[in-house]
Amino acid sequence: AQSVTQLGSHVSVSEGALVLLRCNYSSSVPPYLFWYVQYPNQGLQLLLKYTTGATLVKGINGFEAEFKKSETSFHLTKPSAHMSDAAEYFCAVSDRSGGFKTIFGAGTRLFVKA
Amino acid sequence: GAGVSQTPSNKVTEKGKYVELRCDPISGHTALYWYRQSLGQGPEFLIYFQGTGAADDSGLPNDRFFAVRPEGSVSTLKIQRTERGDSAVYLCASSNHHRDSATEAFFGQGTRLTVV
């Protein structure tokens, strides 16, 4: 069975500071990994995904994530936070060997202080 | 349409009543997913359709929940004898992936169900 753990339900950073949102996964088979963002009163939007190949994945809005198999992690980073980055972020894992059921973490709410 | 459309956007119903939630996926998308998101939680998988058939319904919590997709496009999530614990935002997503390919799932805005 697959699972996702997001460390920290709330993260607060200052504008211009590094953003680091942590995600660890559990999967018995090589996973697909995703980060989604949910802005207030909007639907979920894909930020980036890892499938195969390069382990450092770049997404929209300056975000990137690195797949580390040895650590079973897929942490999301952004060098410099903007006020517009304030949102809920979800890490997700999908089983590539069978169906495409995607399991989501509980989410991390990012606050950006001026 | 341009995106995944869910109707209604809000639904308030009395405990014990029957409700139907509708999802219009992006045209041409073969895969359709239903999720449930409770307050402060991530989306919880309910069911996944590939075409007209339910490829994985392991997330449906009990037999009060049922979903159909008779023509491989629009899907309806049906909840019988609603309970207060069913209150949540129900999300629908669609994608056009093939096996061994992780393509993006596009989410609708959700239906907020409140059981009183």
**Alpha-carbon torsion (B80, B92, A103, A19), positive or negative:** negative
Residue of A32, A105, A106 with shortest CB distance to B102:
A32
Residue of A43, A90, A92 with shortest CB distance to B108:
A43
What is the model's pLDDT at position A102?
A: 84
**Pair A65, A55: CB distance under 8 Å:** no
Residue of B56, B102, B104 with shortest CB distance to A96:
B102
Mutate to test the interface with B, among A48, A88, A93, A101 (most CBs of B within 10 A): A101
* Spatial distance between the Cα atoms of B46 and A26, rounded to a whole number of angstroms: 20
What is the model's pLDDT at position B95?
A: 86
**Pair B91, B32: CB distance under 8 Å:** no
What is the model's pLDDT at position B61?
A: 95
What is the model's pLDDT at position B97?
A: 65
* Residue A62 predicted with pLDDT over 60: yes
Please answer yes or no on whether A100 and B91 come within 8 Å at the CB atom: no
Of A27-36, A69-78, B66-75, the one with minimum mean pLDDT is A27-36
Contacts of B93 in chain A (CB under 8 A): 44
B102 or A53, higher pLDDT: A53
Q: With left for phi above 0 and alpha for psi between -120 and 50, is residue B110 left, alpha or beta?
A: left
- Candidates B38, B5, B40, B58; CA nearest to B115 is B38
Please answer yes or no on whether B44 and A99 come within 8 Å at the CB atom: no
Alpha-carbon distances of B64 from A52, A86, B56, B92, B113, rounded to whole Å? 39, 37, 17, 18, 15
* Spatial distance between the Cα atoms of A54 and A66, rounded to a whole number of angstroms: 9
pLDDT grade for A40, boundaries at 50, 70 and 90: confident
* Spatial distance between the Cα atoms of B83 and A33, rounded to a whole number of angstroms: 34
Please answer yes or no on whether A90 and B42 come within 8 Å at the CB atom: yes
A40 or B80, higher pLDDT: B80
* Residue A30 predicted with pLDDT over 60: yes
What is the model's pLDDT at position B44?
A: 93
What is the model's pLDDT at position B46?
A: 95
* Spatial distance between the Cα atoms of B36 and B32, rounded to a whole number of angstroms: 14
pLDDT grade for A2, boundaries at 50, 70 and 90: confident
Beta-bridge partner residues of B93: B33, B107
Please answer yes or no on whether B59 and A101 come within 8 Å at the CB atom: yes
Q: What is the mean pLDDT of each run of 10 residues along chain B (116 residues)?
A: 90 98 94 92 92 90 96 96 97 76 80 97
What is the model's pLDDT at position B49?
A: 92
* Spatial distance between the Cα atoms of B36 and B38, rounded to a whole number of angstroms: 7
* Residue A103 predicted with pLDDT over 80: yes
pLDDT grade for A6, boundaries at 50, 70 and 90: very high
Phi, psi (deg, nearest 5) at residue B47:
-155, 155
